[in-house]
Structure 1
């Protein structure tokens, strides 16, 4: 019998620092739609790698054509539907671990939607006011700027997911903070 005690498992609402690929995938599915708590960088990025590989394989096989390709296209669609909520929840928890609100996950979407609506309404207003297509250029510039803003916010979210754990993120845990040892 070993005198070494087994380490206590890390609760699901706490980040598992240095998670292995298997641990990250297991925690991903166990916390399917959990938006509270935190997720470590390794939990987030291992899952991201798995999701990219599975998506790539299913989509590649789906392009093979014929009935087999159709089956893989269907599987790719089901896979995407199955992981959309838990992937958003994982991103949400990862942002919590950096000490930020999970609402940062919606920054690219919100900016993209707002920018697109403004650009389209600008295009429509310019077209109606001028009666010719030549005045559509300013609206196109607005659409381009909104696209760049969308990409910029994606980069911001990417950078935020790369940041190390921040003790301020403990405020997003359901349980009391880690005990402080003397």
Structure 2
């Protein structure tokens, strides 16, 4: 419940912070969209191998390829998610641009 309540204020603050650094605010959605895509791909893979298994394919023959694809996919997606998260932290921690940028004047303190 707390995370859902804090989602909109955190998105607004991050969006504004990215604009302060001269980057588009939608960049904040990159890690989130990648996480959603990862979940969809994993669930699609599980469903596909379930259908293959119930259609009469040998489950033991599928087990090796499913394990390889699943493990490889998880490793690749985890590394990419880490890269996107570190990149986002880097962007959000940069100082504001000097002077006005394409998103408006420098905010006053």
Q: TM-score, normalised by structure 2?
A: 0.71
| Match runs of 1:81-92 below 5 Å | 81-92=4-15
Q: Give the equivalent residue in structure 1 for 2:89.
A: 158
Q: How many residue pairs align between the two structures?
A: 98
Q: Verify: 1:134 aligned to 2:64, yes or no.
A: yes
Change (3 A) 1:115 1:83: closer
Aligned match for 1:171, one of 80, 86, 102: 102
Change (3 A) 1:169 1:152: farther
Give how far 1:153 is off.
Answer: 0.8
Change (3 A) 1:140 1:126: farther
Structure 1: which 5+ runs fail to align? 1-76
Inter-partner Cα distance in structure 2 for 1:155 and 1:162: 11
Determine helix, strand or coil for the equivalent of 2:102. helix
The answer to which structure, 1 or 2, has the higher relative contact order (CA under 8 A, 6+ apart) is: 2
Q: Give the equivalent residue in structure 2 for 1:125.
A: 48
Change (3 A) 1:80 1:115: closer
Q: Verify: 1:148 aligned to 2:79, yes or no.
A: yes
Determine helix, strand or coil for the equivalent of 1:158. helix
Q: Between Structure 1 and Structure 2, whose CA radius of gyration is higher?
A: 1
Aligned match for 2:31, one of 101, 104, 108: 108
Runs of 4+ deviating beyond 3 Å: 79-82
Query: Which deviates further from its counterpart, 115-124 or 81-90?
Result: 115-124
Listed one character per residue, the Cα deviations across residues 69-111 of structure 1 (whole Å, up to 9, x for unaligned) are xxxxxxxx3x444432111100001111111011111110111
Inter-partner Cα distance in structure 1 for 2:43 and 2:4: 29
Change (3 A) 1:82 1:123: closer
Give how far 1:131 is off.
Answer: 4.1
